[in-house]
Amino acid sequence: MNNKKQIAILGSTGSIGTQTLDVIRSHSDKFEVYAITANNNIELLINQAREFQPEMVVIANEAKYNELKSALADLPIKVWAGADAISEVVQAEPIDIVLTAMVGYSGLKPSISAICAGKTIALANKESLVVAGELITALALKYRTPILPVDSEHSAIFQCLAGEANNPIEKILLTASGGPFRTFSAEQLATVTKREALKHPNWTMGAKITIDSATLMNKGFEMIEAKWLFDVTTEQIQIVVHPQSIIHSMVQFRDSSIKAQMGLPDMRLPIQYALAYPNRIDADFERLDFTKYSNLTFEEPDTKRFRNLALAYDAVFQGGNMPCIVNAANEVAVAAFLEDKINFPAMSNVIEKTMQATTFIASPSLDDYVQTDKEARARASELF
């Protein structure tokens, strides 16, 4: 009898996906890859499929289906293609955990599909909760689907809450590195290059999330994600810039006590915690040596220089489909910056103007979210 947890990895070729496979590789006695998916990176997907030999492999880009099918023809692997196929594959009966590591809005429908199928969600696609937090949390409650956070900050909060079920949260302290431009003036921000923005001081991540970290939009999204994951108000979430990235986040309780989760910046730790939950299992990750980190510092974020953070707060205060609008506009703006079409501060301008121009819906349905995403992307694309 196979007692290994069966894992589906959505976005296996990205930063989180490849690190998830590292964890599974190190604990092949506990975890097994059942399905992997990718958007475009067919070469790496083929290599992963040949190594881990999952039951199913999906490429979102249908134009690459024949190439993938041919490359894996000698193996007993089911090969599918298309965005809808990703939503279908997560429903496979043997799957225990669906790790959602797709980038951006594309992760929404597969996340909903996995929740409705009753699969445990290891959530690395924060945009699902940013875009449709109310819908996602309602479905998770309806289908009794556990959502285990994989983002380092939300995993830290989750770990701090272990054993505290009867103690309400007074405040969440959500830490942020501040990104590579933490000390830059507004004038300096106007001249930063794509190459500079892609150099995060502490973490190794994909291009989109690295830019989001540099603009602090990532922290705005994490604030929204924390609101839904831990059932708190935005007033109960304080963002604290912590440049060393050793304390991954903290929780304050009503007796004034604060619990923190600490460690070196390594995404494999929260990934492994989610896969093995509720157990902690052995890991060969580097251990934190406090003698090398004698100064841990904290400061307030500057929402005037980093306007995306203020815009994320505006979106969650307005509610409805406004976070969906912000997410769509941000994806368009980041892509434009990476293509050298706009400069660093202009990303905030695109997002703000898209928020003003896109139809607001106070109580959106799933179809409304889909239409909002399309409209917001079109509005944002007109701005450069």
Spatial strand order in the sheet of 31-38? 78-81, 56-59, 31-38, 5-10, 97-100, 120-123, 147-149
CB 377 within 8 A of CB 336: no
CA distance 134 to 224: 11
Residue 239, beta-bridge partner list: 174
Q: Which positions of the chain have pLDDT values less than 50?
A: none
The conformational region for residue 340 under phi > 0 = left, psi -120 to 50 = alpha, else beta, is: left
Q: What is the pLDDT of residue 204?
A: 66
Q: Which residues contact 280 (CB under 8 A, 6 or more apart)?
A: 273
What are the pLDDT digits (tens) for 33-64?
999 999 999 999 999 999 999 999 999 999 99
Amino acid 163 reads G
Residue with structure tokens 């507004």? 186
**Location of structure tokens 């894996």:** 72
Handedness of CA 236, 366, 206, 354 (dihedral sign): negative
300-305's contacts with Cβ under 8 Å and 24+ in sequence apart are 300/240, 300/241, 301/176, 301/178, 301/216, 301/219, 301/239, 301/240, 301/241, 304/186, 305/184, 305/185, 305/186, 305/189
pTM of the predicted protein model: 0.94
DSSP code for 339: T
Omega within 30 of 0 (cis) for the link into 270: no
* pLDDT for position 1: 61
Q: Tell me if residue 99 falls in helix, strand or coil.
A: strand
**Domains present along the chain, CATH in parentheses:** 5-149 (3.40.50.720)
Alpha helices in the chain (DSSP H): 15-26, 42-52, 65-71, 83-89, 108-116, 127-142, 152-160, 186-189, 194-197, 207-215, 217-229, 268-276, 307-318, 322-338, 346-357, 366-381
Radius of gyration of the chain (CA): 20
Task: Provide the pLDDT for residue 374.
Answer: 97
